Copies of this chain bind each other. A is one copy, B any other.
Amino acid sequence: MGIVEDMKCFMEPKSVALIGVSRNVDGDSFNPLKNLINYGFEGKIYPINPKADEILGIKTYPHIRKVPGDVDLGVVITPRSAVPARVKECTEKGVRAVIIIAQGFADSDSEGRMLQEETVRIARRGKTRIIGPNTFGVINAYNGFSTALPHFELETTPVGVISQSGIFFVGLSDIIFGKAIDVGDCCDIDFADSLAYFEDDHDIRVVLLHMEGISDGQKFFKAAKRTSTKKPLVVLKSGRSERGGKAAQSHTGSIVGKDEVYDAVFKAAGVIRADDEEEAENLVKSFLTLPLMKGKRISIMTWAGSTGVITVDACEKYGMDVTDLSEATLEMIRKLSPPQWLPLGNPVDIWACMGLKGFNLERFRDEFKIILDALLYDRNSDGVVVIIPDFLALFSSLWWDVSVSVKEAAEEFPSKPIVFSIFGPKGDLAKKLTETGKTLVFNNCERAVRVLAKSNEYYEFVQRNQE
């Protein structure tokens, strides 16, 4: 069997044995059997527990060899000392895929390392693949499947994650992962194998990697580069610092190499690196929602001169160009009759252009759109950053709801990204802008610019690697 078929045993099993599952099914009892029933998983479930005949009405077997049918996936939930024996029984039953939940292997002491080596040896001999140890296993919301101990909400989103930590199974602030693989200590199945599953998976459009370390750089590089030409990969790599590397060693037994080496591999493979989990989430959202940034030239539309200055700083910091607007664009803006003395250029100051002659509220959204359209139409511009306060949090009239104008503009110019940074208290405007599905709203302009810079990094990779 190839790796994709192996991975399907983990992600899309027809039958699963929960080896050592507990009889405790109380409130938050972290019982994966209870979870699977709850999710409505339609495959066969075989609880294995010598002390029970049934759990939650599901026939329970004392031993995996007593299970009548085939088992695609075995989930071993026992403490570490029992793991090698349980894995051996799986191989004897012909189980092709095993998830080992327990911690205490390469992530702990010498006995743990020995147990891990023994387990791997047994699995290799039996041609059984392993995810883990030290893992929550997998989530596949598309078939109501999860091996995680806690009960997490499942949602069929187009975002996948490959992590070395179960914490990612909770999702990010606003993103639930439709499919998740916690490779844990990576004793067998690794990032490259998991990427092979996602490469041609039509459910998943963007994949986040949370990585502490990899052992086979060449294998990862090949898999990542092949996948990232098809869909964006975002990576959050930790254990960057010396002490962080030691912490990673004790967390997942990872051998953490020099951070610059990882950086170079990610760059060459087109994997977009995020500096923190917030940026990781921003990047995933941008790849889902926005057209790619096809050049480095940014135009800025700002409610206040000050936030324009801050955004210009951010552009320089992230290697983006504050573009010189074309004469045609300036001509369009002049139609709004800004004061003669106003120096027109990039950033475009909305307050000065529209407000100094006195706001005409009924015209506000139209005038806002005239500027936005002009910037999107401008050949010198590849994308637009807009910095405004949340008008609807500040003012009473609905004339301030510019989300309609933004949606229209985005639909007229579908190839250029528009991003917002909302300054100050958040009200309904941020929500309405997000709900258009055509733009993203960030907490500060620095983050807005950074997302465009990294979107452009990915665009350039794809261009270089087109067939």
Contact = CB atoms under 8 A, between A and B. Distances in A.
A462 to B, nearest CB: 28
Contacts of A399: 28
Contact of A167 (B24, B27, B307, B426): B307
Contacts of A352: 103
Interface stretch (A7-15, A168-176, A201-209, A453-461): A168-176
Interface string A99-116: 000011001110110000
A212 B394 contact: no
Contacts of A172: 424-425
B361 A112 contact: no
A277 B112 contact: no
A161 to B, nearest CB: 12
Interface in A253-298: 275-278
Contacts of A108: 341-343
A24 B359 CA distance: 11
B251 A163 contact: no
A337 interface: no
B426 A307 contact: no
A112 B341 contact: yes
A210 interface: yes
Contacts of A82: none
A127 to B, nearest CB: 29
Given A104-B342, A339-B104, A394 B170 contact: yes
Interface in A230-270: 236, 238-244, 247-248, 250-252
Nearest to A361: B28
Contacts of A443: 173, 278, 443
A446 interface: yes
B278 A167 contact: no
A108 B445 CA distance: 24
Contacts of A248: 309
A443 B447 CA distance: 13
Given A28-B396, A248-B309, A278-B444, A341 B424 contact: no
A70 B255 CA distance: 76
B251 A27 contact: no
B109 A239 contact: no
Contacts of A396: 27-28
Interface in A288-337: 303-310, 312-313, 315-317, 322
A247 B341 contact: no
A359 B27 contact: no
Nearest to A316: B241
A425 B238 contact: no
A152 interface: yes
B109 A341 contact: yes
Nearest to A166: B304
A284 to B, nearest CB: 14
A400 interface: yes
Interface string A382-412: 0000000100001111011000000000000
A377 interface: no
A439 interface: no
A322 B423 contact: no
Given A165-B307, A167-B389, A240-B316, 17 more contacts: A27-B361, A104-B341, A104-B342, A152-B394, A165-B304, A170-B424, A172-B424, A238-B306, A239-B309, A241-B312, A241-B315, A241-B316, A251-B306, A275-B446, A276-B445, A276-B446, A277-B444
Q: Which 9 A-B pairs have the closest CB atoms?
A: A165-B306, A251-B305, A241-B316, A167-B304, A170-B424, A244-B313, A244-B312, A108-B341, A247-B309
28 contacts: A27-B396, A28-B359, A104-B341, A107-B305, A112-B341, A151-B395, A165-B305, A165-B306, A165-B307, A172-B424, A172-B425, A173-B424, A173-B426, A173-B443, A236-B310, A238-B306, A238-B309, A240-B316, A240-B317, A242-B316, A243-B316, A244-B310, A247-B322, A248-B309, A251-B306, A251-B309, A275-B446, A276-B445
Interface of A: 24, 27-28, 30, 80, 103-104, 107-109, 111-112, 150-152, 163-168, 170-174, 176, 210, 212, 236, 238-244, 247-248, 250-252, 275-278, 303-310, 312-313, 315-317, 322, 339, 341-343, 345, 347, 349, 352, 356, 358-359, 361, 389, 394-397, 399-400, 423-426, 443-447
